[in-house]
Chain A
Amino acid sequence: EAQVTQNPRYLITVTGKKLTVTCSQNMNHEYMSWYRQDPGLGLRQIYYSMNVEVTDKGDVPEGYKVSRKEKRNFPLILESPSPNQTSLYFCASRGGLAGVETQYFGPGTRLLVL
């Protein structure tokens, strides 16, 4: 089954404690993204990767890092989380014909930073 998985699904942490949210896809997609979703603001792209070792900033990259060492994995790293990073995070991969790609989202990670 084609899918995007994320872990953990729920996380409560404290300010400053480094954390990593993992993301993996089994569709051999080159393009992967991380989004955060906040009420009234919709989905905002944090970082994206067009292929292995190719990553770039999205709209809201401050406070986040990513890496893409393998095609299937795209972890999101919060080196020093702050309360304003409390949000619902989605990893996504995309594939299909150019111009009509479909994005497949992971189930989401709810993060609370105290």
Chain B
Amino acid sequence: RKEVEQDPGPFNVPEGATVAFNCTYSNSASQSFFWYRQDCRKEPKLLMSVYSSGNEDGRFTAQLNRASQYISLLIRDSKLSDSATYLCVALSLNNFNKFYFGSGTKLNVKP
């Protein structure tokens, strides 16, 4: 079983739509969580960290549910420029603070 699992999508949404992604993690020792954005075949870049209380950055909201071991990312008012693959990432205190990456969820925002 993968450490971090995501629905690969693609999620095809019109501009202005609200879209949500979830991911689940299997390692209860995972301590910190992140969403990374990856444009087509480019390097992943940090989008936002995920805190237990939930956090918001403009149109993006991330939430963590430790009891159910899942993380979510909500994008409001989708823009064409939001089209990318979103990687869910867990940082585990085991194994020398290793990052575990999900395979990514692809988002296509259409005009």
Contacts and interface: CB of A to CB of B under 8 A. Distances in A.
Interface stretch (B10-18, B65-73, B99-107): B99-107
Contact of A50 (B34, B91, B96): B96
A72 B34 CA distance: 25
Given A50-B96, A99-B93, A100-B49, A108 B43 contact: yes
> Secondary structure at chain A's binding surface: helix, strand, loop or mixed?
strand
Nearest to A91: B43
B87 A98 contact: no
A88 B103 CA distance: 14
A40 B103 contact: yes
A52 to B, nearest CB: 16
Interface in B61-111: 87, 91, 93, 96-99, 101-104
A39 to B, nearest CB: 9
Nearest to B41: A88
B45 A105 contact: yes
A100 B32 contact: yes
Interface stretch (A11-19, A41-49, A76-84): A41-49
Interface residues of A, number: 24
Interface in A66-103: 88, 90, 94, 98-103
Given A99-B31, A100-B32, A43 B87 contact: yes
Interface in A25-50: 33, 35, 40-43, 45, 48, 50
Contacts of B49: 100
Given A42-B87, A42-B104, A103 B42 contact: no
B44 interface: yes
B32 A42 contact: no
Interface of A: 33, 35, 40-43, 45, 48, 50, 56, 88, 90, 94, 98-103, 105-108, 110
Interface of B: 2, 8, 31-32, 34, 41-46, 49, 87, 91, 93, 96-99, 101-104
